[in-house]
Structure 1
Amino acid sequence: MTTRRLRVAIGGMAIESSEFCPHRSTYEDFRVTRGADLLARYTWTSPDDPMAPQVEWVPLVHAVALPGGPVVRETFERIRDELTDRIRDAAPLDGLVFDIHGAMSVVGLTDAEAELTAAVREATGPETLISAAMDLHGNVSYDFARHLDLLTAHRLAPHEDAWETRERAARKLVERLAGGAGRPHRAWVQVPVLLPGEKTSTRLEPARSLYGSLAGIEAMDGICDAALWVGYAWADEERCRAAVVVTGDDARLALDQAGSLARRYWEARHDFTFVGPTGQADACIARAVASTARPFLISDSGDNPTAGGAGDLGYMLERLLANEDLAAGRATALHPGIHDPAAVETCFAAGVGAEVSLAVGGHVSAGTGEHAKPCPLTGRVVSLQTLDGVRAAAVRHGGVTAVLTERRKPFHTRADFGEIDPAAYDLVVVKIGYLEPELYDMAADWLLALTPGGVDQDLLRLGHRHVARPLYPFDDEGFTDPEMVPVLL
């Protein structure tokens, strides 16, 4: 057992990237944190935390971005190089908390996390223990995982345990370092299933039970952690599929538990269903207008910016305006979050109360299909505000109010809407997949609209070409007994 304070660094790079989204993520899309600001992200780095007497936390650099399209190579290399340079400058390190997502795509690379992690491992050297905290929608290839000593993922979707996951990665690492346990065994296996997050929410079975079983596996003697990833469905790479990693000192038990969990996931593949009732856009709007439940929420799931969509499609706005009751004002609808900087500039120049004629959306997604054409909108500017540093303009036509933003921005909480009260509208159409907790609590009822876009829920119509086959649901008939043999990394 060590009696000196451990030197444990913190750093990483996190983004979820849809390869079917025309957006490209650049350095300006990332929030980059260093020094004391980086340590302040985490509650467990506080001097009052029980780990404090044991650990000297060493902040490196952390870069996180709103999900979007693939990261341009220059940006990836810039952040990678800063991270690895800071690792070398901070040497020697006992450990590293590697705070990542797991679904980053980079232009020109086929396994961005493997490239990043290999560079990190080279910088730390072989003796430093690396503990990765990940999103369960990440991809876990062999080449990626073999550079890590501990890796864990969220156990809830929606990710209400995201900070708990990071804390678990840190505490497990410190426990091993302080106790002198050394490098554990890691049993890794992939499962040939690739499903969108909206079909794998832990609010429903079978994901609820599968993820609910992880704590029990972790509690077994000889086991340190158990993690299950559903993978990221909107990238088109060989690594895209579900994966299991069970970590522990008992190699045989880790292998057995990894194999059992993988088999249960495979056997449940047909049981995964959408987290809520679904329908095409017009049918969802008609059902919502006819309902007495207020507010009635609809997810514009295909253009969800927090899954990697461009967030610039006016498709749902067009469908709302095509509904006679909404166009006439007999019912009201709010549709926030359409990314269109030119339209926002026009509205701010015109001012509140002005009439404007706009062509909304499609400035990033132009040319990707009929659904990406701009939506004509003539109406009155009813709100101009700045939300988290992003200018937003609300324009009303009949009963439909569209909130346009100068940058891609999610609307997940009541605070995201600013001065606009979403509960005052009959319908609220949000660019999201499954509803985040505050929206879920707000909704008197809701529907998941199966809309087109860069994160289309209909995977088969997106055109994957590079995923490893066979793979469910792309292949099903005759694909009944895949070889899933866990290996030790």
Structure 2
Amino acid sequence: MSGRPVIAIAGLACETSTFTQSRTLAPAFRPRRDTEVIDKYAFLHKGTPLADAADWRGALIGHALPGGVVTRASFEELAGEIIARLTEIVASTPHLDGLWFDIHGAMCVEELDDVEAELLRRVRAVIGPHVLVSASMDLHGNVSRELAHQTDLITCYRMAPHEDAMDTKERACRNLVELLAKQQSSIDSRLRPYKAWVPIPILLPGEQTSTRVEPAKHIYAAVPGVEAVEGVIDAAIWVGYAWADERRNRAIVMATGWDKAAVSTGAEKLAKLFWDSHADFEFVAPTGTFKECLDTALASPARPYFVSDSGDNPTAGGSGDMTWGLTKLLARPEFKDASGPKVIYASVPGPKAIETAVEAGVGATVTVTAGAEVDNIHSGPITMTGRVHSIKHGDENAGTEVVLQVGSVFAILTKLRKPYHKEHDFTDLDLKPRSSDIVIVKIGYLEPELYDMAADWMMALTPGGVDQDLVRLGHHRIRRPMWPFDTNFESVPDLTARFISLSHEPLAGPDE
């Protein structure tokens, strides 16, 4: 390698629940190609240190809103385009030196397991075994032994909520650039770091492992200290993804670096911290049934009082179109009259309801039916009569949004499902969450802006594709024993570091 290294960028990201009825199609990934890939990341823009350090070539990346399993045809379409574009990049340059693998780590595809590793296998067939690969992931992703093997560097977020997402992606790119520079200055151009991998038999939802609270707070706080040790490049802890049923789904610790002893010691330290706290993980907020949460909210003087309708959270993999929560809410006598406590509910998709409301216009009274077009296991479509409070067109996720006032409930209906994480998501619809009595959102832990707005909050343990009661979902393929599915461990699990063979060598050792 001479001059600036050439680095390609590719990856697909979607957090998918195998317990959700919906299916994710190729357009949901909103693919970016060529320079669109570079445009997405400010740290690669012209004039930045990373942009100056390498020649970055965008192949294709796609990031879909979490949801149901990706169809095989959709995956093959997108994976095929990635391979075709990487083939063109390889052909257009004298040397391809690196690849940034931009993924989430919890994508499931029909008829395939461990699909990120499968995609990278296909990528390796094009770019070759000696091109350095650096992967960035969500901490709710899964790192199989095969995925660890196919990569040279790998890291993940250290915060949940993920306020450090861009920092993590930038770190993955910086580590790659630095490794390429080290290779260039070395006699051995195939120099690779050690990779220590430690599987931990724990599989918990993000709502029990938020880094805002203990024990995840102190566990993740230890990561920078391990990374700072001489001879260590990176350290990372994956909680894993709890709402998919594959053998790879579990917590993982990895450390990479040049000092084998330091890498091993650091990985084992983090794994022990995690396991030692396995019985201490609790939900990030008080929990209860939907009824208990509403009763508590009504009795509390705290305003606004937020309630998470957690079972159908579209940013964890829920279908987002369940009507169970809204049906229960509208059945409550406290909200039958417009003078009752002001409640915002976000949200339920209903394309036909949207058409009716838009045609009638703001101020009109309409009767519409919405929801349960995909997920009708727990409740069917809901029919409501109310006043059209507001209409908004052009949302990047929802398309069109309508607020329907039914009694004192302001129900947000959408053409397509949408997460509600920002204050402007509400104020853009002429809603004032800060002066409302209760705000109900399909979410797990509250995202930062909601958390800051909430005077108090509870998480409702509602049914759905991302049900917080993992045991009742019916996993049958995950490894056992696994906490909290199994609570009587006869001994401490083996938390010794497994060293993963280099990406250009055959994978050694069983996929424990």
TM-score scaled by structure 1?
Answer: 0.97
Give unpaired runs (5+ residues) of structure 1: none
**Helix, strand or coil: the match of 1:151?**
strand
Q: Which AA in structure 2 matches 1:337?
A: S
**Helix, strand or coil: the match of 1:146?**
helix
1:74 aligns with 2:84: no
1:382 aligns with 2:389: yes
- Residue of 238, 250, 253 corresponding to 1:241: 250
- Residue of 344, 348, 353 corresponding to 2:354: 344
Residues 57-106 of structure 1 deviation map (CA, whole Å, 9 limit, x = unaligned): 11111111000000000111111111122222212311111110000000
Residues 209-242 of structure 1 deviation map (CA, whole Å, 9 limit, x = unaligned): 1111111101101100000000000000000100
**Helix, strand or coil: the match of 1:39?**
helix
Q: Which AA in structure 2 matches 1:55?
A: A
Per the TM alignment, residue 387 of structure 1 is displaced from its structure 2 partner at its CA by: 4.9
Q: Report if aligned partners of 2:351, 2:370 keep a CA contact under 8 Å in 1.
A: no
Q: Distance in 1 between matches of 2:163 and 2:203?
A: 22
**Helix, strand or coil: the match of 1:269?**
coil
Residues 432-453 of structure 1 deviation map (CA, whole Å, 9 limit, x = unaligned): 1101111111111111111110
Name segments (4+ residues, structure 1) moved above 6 Å.
Answer: none
**Helix, strand or coil: the match of 1:270?**
coil
1:163 aligns with 2:166: yes
1:331 aligns with 2:341: yes
1:472 aligns with 2:502: no
Q: Which AA in structure 2 matches 1:351?
A: G
Distance 1:41 1:480, change over 3 A: same
Q: Which residue of 1 aligns with 2:39?
A: 40
Residues 220-265 of structure 1 deviation map (CA, whole Å, 9 limit, x = unaligned): 0110000000000000000010001100011222122212211221
Q: Which residue of 2 aligns with 1:49?
A: 48
Q: Which residue of 1 aligns with 2:58?
A: 59
**Helix, strand or coil: the match of 2:49?**
coil
Q: Report if aligned partners of 2:15, 2:67 keep a CA contact under 8 Å in 1.
A: yes
**Helix, strand or coil: the match of 2:294?**
helix
Give the count of matched residue pairs.
485
Q: Distance in 2 between matches of 1:355 and 1:42?
A: 45
Q: Structure 2 matches for 1:21-420, cutoff 5 A?
A: 21-91=20-90, 92-180=95-183, 182-328=191-337, 329-366=339-376, 368=377, 371-389=378-396, 390-417=399-426, 418-419=428-429, 420=431
Q: Distance in 2 between matches of 1:114 and 1:25?
A: 19
Residues 264-312 of structure 1 deviation map (CA, whole Å, 9 limit, x = unaligned): 2111111111111111101101111121211111111100000000111
Q: Distance in 1 between matches of 2:309 and 2:441?
A: 6
TM-score scaled by structure 2?
Answer: 0.92
Q: Report if aligned partners of 1:392, 1:406 keep a CA contact under 8 Å in 2.
A: yes
Q: Report if aligned partners of 1:192, 1:471 keep a CA contact under 8 Å in 2.
A: yes
Q: Distance in 2 between matches of 1:427 and 1:97?
A: 43
Q: Distance in 2 between matches of 1:460 and 1:159?
A: 26
Per the TM alignment, residue 3 of structure 1 is displaced from its structure 2 partner at its CA by: 5.1
Q: Distance in 1 between matches of 2:386 and 2:237?
A: 48
Distance 1:373 1:157, change over 3 A: same
Per the TM alignment, residue 479 of structure 1 is displaced from its structure 2 partner at its CA by: 4.2
Q: Report if aligned partners of 1:361, 1:372 keep a CA contact under 8 Å in 2.
A: no
Q: Report if aligned partners of 2:362, 2:391 keep a CA contact under 8 Å in 1.
A: yes
**Helix, strand or coil: the match of 1:483?**
coil
Q: Which AA in structure 2 matches 1:183?
A: R
**Helix, strand or coil: the match of 1:299?**
strand
Q: Distance in 2 between matches of 1:111 and 1:236?
A: 11
Q: Report if aligned partners of 2:33, 2:61 keep a CA contact under 8 Å in 1.
A: yes
Q: Which AA in structure 2 matches 1:54?
A: A
Q: Which AA in structure 2 matches 1:69?
A: G
**Helix, strand or coil: the match of 1:453?**
coil
Distance 1:349 1:479, change over 3 A: farther
- Say which is worse superposed, 49-58 or 213-222, in terms of deviation: 49-58
Q: Report if aligned partners of 1:11, 1:83 keep a CA contact under 8 Å in 2.
A: yes
Give unpaired runs (5+ residues) of structure 2: 501-512
Q: Distance in 1 between matches of 2:35 and 2:435?
A: 41
Q: Report if aligned partners of 2:256, 2:263 keep a CA contact under 8 Å in 1.
A: yes
- Say which is worse superposed, 266-275 or 375-384, in terms of deviation: 375-384
Per the TM alignment, residue 376 of structure 1 is displaced from its structure 2 partner at its CA by: 3.0
